[in-house]
A and B are shown apart, each in its own frame.
Chain A
Amino acid sequence: MSAIIVLLLAGGVPYYLLLEKFTPLKSKHIFLLSGLLLLGAVVSSLYIPSGHTTSIVVIALISAIFSIYRATKTTNFYKLGYYLVFVNAPFFLLFEDQGAEYSLSLLLSLIGVFLTAQFYEKNYGSANYHHITGITLATPCIGTYLAFYLIALALYPPFPNSIFFLSYIFESEPSVLWYIVVSTIFFGNFLLAMRVMRKTLFGRENPTIHYVHMTVKEKIIHSIVIVLLLTLSVLGLKEMLL
Chain B
Amino acid sequence: MEKIVLLIPIIPIVIAFMLMFVSKKERIPRVSIFLSSMIALLGLYGTYHVIRTDTVIEGFGGLLIYNELSAILIPYVAILGLVIRKYATKYMWDEAGYKRFFILLNFIFSAIYLLIMSNNLIVLALAWQLLSISLYLLVSFNVGSDTAVKNARWIMIIHKGADLVFIFAVILTYKTFGSFDLAVLSAQWLEMSASPITDPMIFVIGLLYLLAALMKSAIMPFHIWLPYTSEAPTPVSAVMHAGVANVGGILLNKMAYLLLLAPGVLNIAFGIGLITAILATVIMLTVSDIKRSLGYSTVGQMGYMIMEIGLGAFSLAVYHLIVHGIFKATLFLESGALIKLARHESNLPKRLSYELFWEEKLKSKASKIFNYLAFLTIIPIVVFIGVKMVLSEEFFDFNASIIILAFGWLTGTQLFLSFFKVSRTETFKVVVALISSFIIILFTYEFVGLALEHFLYHEHARLFYEAATLNITLLMAVIILVVITVVGWLFMYKQHFIDVEGTQKASKIEWMFYRFLAKEGYFFSIIKRIRKGGKL
Q: Which residues of A contact B (CB under 8 A)?
A: 134, 136-137, 140, 147, 151, 154, 156-158, 162-163, 166, 169-170, 173-174, 179, 183, 186-187, 190, 194, 198, 201-205, 240-242
Residue in B122, B149, B164 whose beta carbon sits within 8 Å of that of A198 in the complex: B149
A203→B149 contact, CB < 8 A: yes
A187→B160 contact, CB < 8 A: yes
Residue B197 lies at the interface, judged by CB distance under 8 Å to chain A: no
A202-B140 contact given A137-B97, A170-B174, A186-B164, CB 8 Å threshold: yes
A203-B146 contact given A169-B171, A174-B175, CB 8 Å threshold: yes
A241→B120 contact, CB < 8 A: yes
Residue B200 lies at the interface, judged by CB distance under 8 Å to chain A: no
Closest 7 CB pairs of A and B: A156-B133, A202-B149, A202-B143, A157-B126, A204-B144, A136-B143, A137-B96
Number of A-B contacts (CB under 8 A): 73
**From residue 196 to 225 of chain B, which have CB atoms closer than 8 A to chain A?**
none
Closest Cβ of chain A: how far from B127's Cβ, in Å? Answer: 8
Provide the residues of chain B in CB contact with A202, threshold 8 Å.
140, 143, 149
Q: Which of B96, B129, B174 has the most CB of A within 10 A?
A: B129
Residue B123 lies at the interface, judged by CB distance under 8 Å to chain A: yes
Q: Digitize B126-167: 1 where CB-to-A-CB distance is under 8 Å, 0 elsewhere.
A: 100110110001001001101001000100100010011001
Closest to A174 in B: B171
Provide the residues of chain A in CB contact with B123, threshold 8 Å.
241
B96→A162 contact, CB < 8 A: no
Besides A156-B130, A158-B130, A203-B144, 4 more A-B contacts (Cβ < 8 Å) are: A170-B171, A186-B167, A203-B143, A204-B146
Provide the residues of chain B in CB contact with A201, threshold 8 Å.
143
**From residue 51 to 72 of chain B, which have CB atoms closer than 8 A to chain A?**
61, 63
Q: Roughly how many angstroms separate A156 CA and B132 CA in the complex, as a whole number?
A: 9
Provide the residues of chain A in CB contact with B125, threshold 8 Å.
166
B122→A170 contact, CB < 8 A: yes
A194→B174 contact, CB < 8 A: no
**From residue 454 to 512 of chain B, which have CB atoms closer than 8 A to chain A?**
none
Q: Roughly how many angstroms separate A59 CA and B283 CA in the complex, as a whole number?
A: 47
Residue B170 lies at the interface, judged by CB distance under 8 Å to chain A: yes
Q: Roughly how many angstroms separate A130 CA and B185 CA in the complex, as a whole number?
A: 50
CB<8 Å pairs between A and B, sample of 15: A134-B143, A137-B96, A140-B97, A147-B137, A156-B132, A157-B130, A179-B168, A183-B164, A186-B164, A194-B156, A201-B143, A202-B140, A203-B146, A204-B146, A241-B122
Q: Roughly how many angstroms separate A157 CA and B127 CA in the complex, as a whole number?
A: 8
Q: Roughly how many angstroms separate A186 CA and B161 CA in the complex, as a whole number?
A: 10
A170→B170 contact, CB < 8 A: yes
A187→B164 contact, CB < 8 A: yes
A194-B63 contact given A156-B129, A158-B126, A203-B143, CB 8 Å threshold: no
**From residue 107 to 130 of chain B, which have CB atoms closer than 8 A to chain A?**
120, 122-123, 125-126, 129-130
Provide the residues of chain B in CB contact with A157, threshold 8 Å.
126, 129-130
Closest Cβ of chain A: how far from B183's Cβ, in Å? Answer: 15
Provide the residues of chain A in CB contact with B175, threshold 8 Å.
173-174
A137→B143 contact, CB < 8 A: yes
Closest Cβ of chain B: how far from A190's Cβ, in Å? Answer: 5
Closest to B60 in A: A241
Q: Digitize B163-202: 1 where CB-to-A-CB distance is under 8 Å, 0 elsewhere.
A: 1100110111011000010000000000000000000000
Closest Cβ of chain A: how far from B66's Cβ, in Å? Answer: 18
Closest to B148 in A: A202
Provide the residues of chain B in CB contact with A173, threshold 8 Å.
175
Q: Roughly how many angstroms separate A140 CA and B99 CA in the complex, as a whole number?
A: 11
Provide the residues of chain B in CB contact with A147, threshold 8 Å.
137
Residue in B97, B100, B126, B153 whose beta carbon sits within 8 Å of that of A194 in the complex: B153
B153→A166 contact, CB < 8 A: no
Closest to A190 in B: B160
Closest to B121 in A: A170
A169→B130 contact, CB < 8 A: no
Q: Roughly how many angstroms separate A147 CA and B97 CA in the complex, as a whole number?
A: 15
Q: Roughly how many angstroms separate A157 CA and B130 CA in the complex, as a whole number?
A: 6
Closest Cβ of chain A: how far from B39's Cβ, in Å? Answer: 19
Closest Cβ of chain A: how far from B114's Cβ, in Å? Answer: 10
Closest to A157 in B: B126
Provide the residues of chain B in CB contact with A186, threshold 8 Å.
160, 163-164, 167
Q: Roughly how many angstroms separate A229 CA and B129 CA in the complex, as a whole number?
A: 18
Closest Cβ of chain B: how far from A207's Cβ, in Å? Answer: 12
Q: Roughly how many angstroms separate A241 CA and B121 CA in the complex, as a whole number?
A: 10
Provide the residues of chain B in CB contact with A156, threshold 8 Å.
129-130, 132-133
Residue in A166, A203, A204 whose beta carbon sits within 8 Å of that of B167 in the complex: A166
B129→A242 contact, CB < 8 A: no
Closest Cβ of chain B: how far from A135's Cβ, in Å? Answer: 9
Q: Roughly how many angstroms separate A53 CA and B283 CA in the complex, as a whole number?
A: 52
A241→B160 contact, CB < 8 A: no
Provide the residues of chain B in CB contact with A163, threshold 8 Å.
126
Closest Cβ of chain A: how far from B9's Cβ, in Å? Answer: 12
Provide the residues of chain B in CB contact with A242, threshold 8 Å.
61
A169→B167 contact, CB < 8 A: yes
A136-B97 contact given A170-B174, A194-B153, CB 8 Å threshold: yes
Closest to B107 in A: A158
Closest Cβ of chain A: how far from B333's Cβ, in Å? Answer: 26
Provide the residues of chain A in CB contact with B143, threshold 8 Å.
134, 136-137, 201-203
A134→B120 contact, CB < 8 A: no
Closest Cβ of chain B: how far from A98's Cβ, in Å? Answer: 15
Closest Cβ of chain B: how far from A134's Cβ, in Å? Answer: 6
A241→B170 contact, CB < 8 A: no
B153→A198 contact, CB < 8 A: yes
Closest to A165 in B: B167
**From residue 273 to 327 of chain B, which have CB atoms closer than 8 A to chain A?**
none
Residue in B126, B144, B164 whose beta carbon sits within 8 Å of that of A137 in the complex: B144
A134→B153 contact, CB < 8 A: no
Q: Roughly how many angstroms separate A116 CA and B123 CA in the complex, as a whole number?
A: 32
Q: Which of B63, B120, B156, B180 has the most CB of A within 10 A?
A: B156
Q: Digitize B445-460: 1 where CB-to-A-CB distance is under 8 Å, 0 elsewhere.
A: 0000000000000000
Q: Roughly how many angstroms separate A204 CA and B96 CA in the complex, as a whole number?
A: 12
Residue in B129, B168, B171, B172 whose beta carbon sits within 8 Å of that of A162 in the complex: B129
Q: Roughly how many angstroms separate A170 CA and B171 CA in the complex, as a whole number?
A: 6
Provide the residues of chain B in CB contact with A140, threshold 8 Å.
97, 100
Closest Cβ of chain B: how far from A230's Cβ, in Å? Answer: 11
A241→B61 contact, CB < 8 A: yes
A241→B63 contact, CB < 8 A: yes
Closest to B163 in A: A186
Q: Roughly how many angstroms separate A104 CA and B109 CA in the complex, as a whole number?
A: 30
Q: Roughly how many angstroms separate A43 CA and B61 CA in the complex, as a whole number?
A: 33
Closest Cβ of chain B: how far from A12's Cβ, in Å? Answer: 23
B122→A166 contact, CB < 8 A: yes
Closest to A167 in B: B122
Q: Roughly how many angstroms separate A194 CA and B132 CA in the complex, as a whole number?
A: 13
Q: Roughly how many angstroms separate A190 CA and B162 CA in the complex, as a whole number?
A: 13
